[in-house]
Amino acid sequence: MEKMKVAMYYNNNDVRIEDMTIPKINDNEILVKVQVSGICGSDVMEWYRLKKAPRVLGHEMTGDVVKIGKNIKKFRVGDRVFVSHHIPCNNCNYCQNDQHTICDTLHSTNFYPGGFAQYLRVPEINIDCGVFILPKEISYEEGAFIEPLACVVRGLRIAEFKSGQNVLVIGSGVAGLLNIKLAKAMGANRIFATDVNDFRLRKAKEIGADLSIHAKENVPEQIKKHNNGNLVDLVILCAGVPSAVKQSLESVNAGGTILFFAPTEPGVEIPFPLFDLWNKQVKMVSTYAGAPKDIKEAIELIKTKKVKVRDLITHRFPLNEAEKGFKLTAQAGDSIKIIIEPQK
């Protein structure tokens, strides 16, 4: 049996390079050689990951089709592809009401073993609406942003973002920066960004934020000072800590919307001023993941360069240095998107 290398996650400080058998495929599956896999912020949320460890993580991947089952007509050996790990059923009540990311099937599907492996098997259920040809205009590295950008596409759609709105993005990691890029591309009037990290604050300004504010400042006052005395129409919360949630509640204008893009840890309860929110008629919505139509839109945005992503890559590591990538991601220092290249 042919072997491959994988990065097996035990915890954020323990990612081991191990041997696994290259997955065998059946007549309705494909085998993909992974070229690039990005480390997601969710990959280092230990409260979320440790309960299923050890396992091979990685869902922001691109690669090449190297083997196809005899019943596969849609793809050919040599195709460059992005593969989505979660697939909706498209038949349940949630899917029928454009709530694909609540679908039970989406939450239970995955490819095997994960993107931090040299090869992965794509199950039959993923073939129809979870495998996408990578256009020639998109590099493998840029393709690693398709999944996170799809999450942002869905979030702004759920928040009913409109051109001309003023936006606050709380937390300027990869998700926050992609929200800034897409909001700007969609015609935001003014964009404010916060973080506790000076490197990320500078990056937010560099890619399009009109003002970067350290999260320990009085953010609502700073916004009003630079926004004609007004707060913002849309707050996008990309930092899952109670202080950031409180900041989002204080920064939204009457009639505005708060989009909860990032979660707190389970069990964390946040008090909120119901009267003030009721009186201001504030809408609060949440988002998780992206559906196939969001992925298609993300591909088009990257292909046409309406959203440029390459400038968010700060580090590239071969598979045998994956642990270093996980540590840097968890530390959230001078890093944004970290790319793992399993074939190097």
Q: Which domain holds residue 237?
A: 160-286
Pair (235, 311) in one structural domain: no
For residue range 60-78, list pLDDT tens digits in order: 999 999 999 999 999 999 9
For residue range 288-336, list pLDDT tens digits in order: 999 999 999 999 999 999 999 999 999 999 999 999 999 999 998 899 9
Pair (282, 298) in one structural domain: no
Q: What is the mean pLDDT of the chain?
A: 96
Pair (84, 197) in one structural domain: no
Instruction: Taking residues 42-46, report their average pLDDT.
Output: 91
Q: Is the pTM of this model over 0.85?
A: yes
Residue 318 lies in a domain: yes
Pair (11, 113) in one structural domain: yes
Residue 45 lies in a domain: yes
Please name the residue that has the structure tokens 């945005």.
301
Total domains, the chain:
2
**H/E run at residue 220:** helix 219-225
Pair (233, 328) in one structural domain: no
CA-angle at 307, arms to 60 and 161, nearest 5°: 100
- In this prediction, residue 279 carries a pLDDT of 96
- For the cut 90, the answer to whether the pLDDT of residue 24 exceeds it is yes
How far is it, in rounded angstroms, from Cα 261 to Cα 244? 12
- In this prediction, residue 101 carries a pLDDT of 96
Pair (282, 296) in one structural domain: no
Pair (26, 14) in one structural domain: yes
Pair (253, 294) in one structural domain: no
- In this prediction, residue 121 carries a pLDDT of 98
- How far apart, in Å, do the first and last CA atoms of the chain sit? 22
Pair (11, 143) in one structural domain: yes
Pair (129, 256) in one structural domain: no
Residue 229 lies in a domain: yes
Residue 154 lies in a domain: no
Least confident of 17-26, 38-47, 144-153, 335-344: 38-47
Instruction: Taking residues 252-258, report their average pLDDT.
Output: 97
For residue range 125-171, list pLDDT tens digits in order: 999 899 999 999 999 999 999 999 999 999 999 999 999 999 999 99
Residue 101 lies in a domain: yes
- In this prediction, residue 48 carries a pLDDT of 86
Please name the residue that has the structure tokens 């913002």.
232
Residue 41 lies in a domain: yes
**pLDDT category of residue 39 using cuts at 50, 70 and 90:** very high
Pair (139, 218) in one structural domain: no
How far is it, in rounded angstroms, from Cα 314 to Cα 106? 31
**H/E run at residue 203:** helix 198-207
CATH code: domain of residue 194: 3.40.50.720
Pair (296, 267) in one structural domain: no
Residue 152 lies in a domain: no
CATH code: domain of residue 58: 3.90.180.10
Sheet-wide strand order for 167-170? 211-214, 191-195, 167-170, 232-237, 252-260, 283-286
Instruction: Taking residues 98-114, report their average pLDDT.
Output: 96
